[in-house]
Structure 1
Amino acid sequence: MNVKITTLIENKEDENNILINEHGLSLYIEIDEMKILFDTGQSGDFIKNAEKLKINLNKLNYVMLSHGHYDHSGGLRKLVDNTDNSFKLIVGKGFFNEKYKLVDGENYKFNGNNFDKEFIVENNIPIKYITQDLFNVTEDILIFSNFERNTEFEILNTKFYIKHNEEYIADDFSDEIVLVVKHKKGLVVILGCSHVGVINILKTIIKRTGMPIYCIVGGSHLIEADELRLKGTIEFLKENNISMLRLSHCTGENATKELENEFGNKFVYNNTGNSIFVSVK
């Protein structure tokens, strides 16, 4: 099995400064003949980048949205408007909850999707809601949900809320899903934002599969990590001897510097336009 992951859009610009970057994430994943789009950024500009990179988004088998925040789902409308919509959509349970962020300590700002269930129905897009702990797309392509939360230093951010019956309740991110590919070298783990804690996610995946992790790609939400959390995260990654760290988006500058210092060439910031190869060789 060969795996190639191309970052269609991300916070940081590409090396040649010819692509569009934005606060968000969208990954184009090729697993042999399977074509998967994991998240869609916030604006839909990932489509322009795909065109420049000569990636055909009409050939998608699946679109997977890691959670219902605008910077991961916001580009879906433009994808639907600009492709033949031959894909199947996969989201977590609770994906369509109304999500908000508390700003200035008192104001709630809408932080969720720019489409609803009706939009999916109107455009005849098949949709799968992940409710189980582990869902097999194929024998080697897995989606995880319902993560165990037993890492003491990983605490949910208290700025995120769901609006329900005109009340704001803390968002527990039960909609968060993670894509995992079984590879000869180990598991390739593809993250959206890791709101439930990147170590909680990795521990759960290892426990459920009994397999080692080879590569991690995506957002780790270490942007607000204190010294204790960052140290604990680095210790876990070292203890599990993870060979490829390709984190970005919500990882943050401080965590990025620490990861670079601790892991050397094992860590590469996965900016816009970057490609990751995990081959059988």
Structure 2
Amino acid sequence: MKLTITTLIENSKGEHLGLLNEHGISFLIEVNNKKILFDTGQSGDFIKNASTLGKDLKDIDMVVLSHGHYDHTGGFRRFVETVTSDFKLYFHKNAFRKKYSFDNTHYKFLGNSFDKEFLEDNNVESHLVDEDILEIDKGIYIISNFERVTSFEKNNPRFYLVNNDEHVLDDFNDEIMLAIDTPDGLVVILGCSHPGVINMLKTLIKRTGKSINTIIGGTHLVRADEDRIRQTIENFKAMDIKKFGISHCTGENAMNQLKLEFGDKYFHNTTGTVLYFDK
């Protein structure tokens, strides 16, 4: 099989200084003669980067949005309005809820720039995910509704959503991940891992019975204390993960510790990074 994952946009610039970067993430996944866009950053600048990288987005087959935060879905409207593509959208059914952050004084909107009406008006074929595991193509899985099995991964107290006109702590029951089967194990693409990256990976292993080769994306350890980072690393070791391309919301402290623990198994995934799997 041939699998290519291109980071169209991420927080950090890579060696190609002509690419745009922003707080957000977007991946182009090419596998099984299919093109999958996973997340769309916050602005839509991933579209320009794709052109610079020689990647054509006009024949995208599927768009997968990991959860309803602006830095993962903000570019979707621009993609729909500017790129001619007959694609199918996969988005969790709960991801249209209004999302906010709270700094003990003010609520700040963090949600999507589009709604269900926008999808209908633009004739976007959509599958609103509710399944625990959904195979969207041969060996390509969406996982959702994660089991919360760890004691050290708690919901972040700064994130809220509106429920019945009240602000309540965000449970992030809208988050999904993508997993691709390879001869060497699963390649896992993460958005932000708000339910806890270990909760998510344990759920994946339980439901598929497969080992994990590579994880790429965000792990939201940016505000994690030392105990959570330590336990996360110990769980990564127990899972025998071979490669870590995690960044975005992972945080500098956690990324430094991952580099120290895993050496060449870890790389800082930046805008323009390309991963190849060919077996």
When the two structures are superposed, what TM-score results if normalisation uses the length of structure 1? 0.98
Deviations 1:84-126 (A, max 9, x none): 13110000121100111102x1211100001111000000000
Q: What SS does structure 2 have at the residue aligned with 1:51?
A: helix
Distance 2:27 2:5 in 1: 6
C-alpha displacement of 1:180 = 0.5
Distance 1:138 1:3 in 2: 13
C-alpha displacement of 1:150 = 1.1
Q: What SS does structure 2 have at the residue aligned with 1:251?
A: coil
Distance 1:148 1:278 in 2: 29
Provide the residue aligned with 2:39 in structure 1.
39
Provide the residue aligned with 1:132 in structure 2.
131
Letter in 2 for 1:49: N
Answer yes or no: is the 8 Å Cα contact 2:28–2:38 preserved in 1. yes
Provide the residue aligned with 1:220 in structure 2.
219
Provide the residue aligned with 1:7 in structure 2.
7
Matched pairs, number: 279
Deviations 1:159-208 (A, max 9, x none): 11111232101111111000000111000111000000000000000111
Q: What SS does structure 1 have at the residue aligned with 2:157?
A: coil
> Are residue 266 (structure 1) and residue 265 (structure 2) matched?
yes
Distance 2:235 2:137 in 1: 29
Answer yes or no: is the 8 Å Cα contact 2:61–2:87 preserved in 1. yes
> Are residue 75 (structure 1) and residue 70 (structure 2) matched?
no
Query: Which structure 2 residues correspond to residues 44-63 of structure 1 after superposition, within 5 A?
Result: 44-63=44-63
Query: Which structure 2 residues correspond to residues 91-102 of structure 1 after superposition, within 5 A?
Result: 91-102=91-102
C-alpha displacement of 1:16 = 2.6
Distance 1:142 1:188 in 2: 10
Query: Which structure 2 residues correspond to residues 1-281 of structure 1 after superposition, within 5 A?
Result: 1-103=1-103, 105-280=104-279
Distance 2:93 2:77 in 1: 20
C-alpha displacement of 1:239 = 1.4
Which 4+ runs in 1 deviate beyond 2 A? Answer: none
Distance 1:20 1:26 in 2: 12
Letter in 2 for 1:33: N
C-alpha displacement of 1:139 = 2.9
Structure 2 gap segments, 5+ residues each: none
Answer yes or no: is the 8 Å Cα contact 1:29–1:35 preserved in 2. yes
Q: What SS does structure 2 have at the residue aligned with 1:59?
A: coil
When the two structures are superposed, what TM-score results if normalisation uses the length of structure 2? 0.98
Structure 1 gap segments, 5+ residues each: none
Deviations 1:205-251 (A, max 9, x none): 01111111001010011111111111111111111111111101001
Distance 1:55 1:138 in 2: 21
Answer yes or no: is the 8 Å Cα contact 1:187–1:211 preserved in 2. yes
Answer yes or no: is the 8 Å Cα contact 2:57–2:85 preserved in 1. no
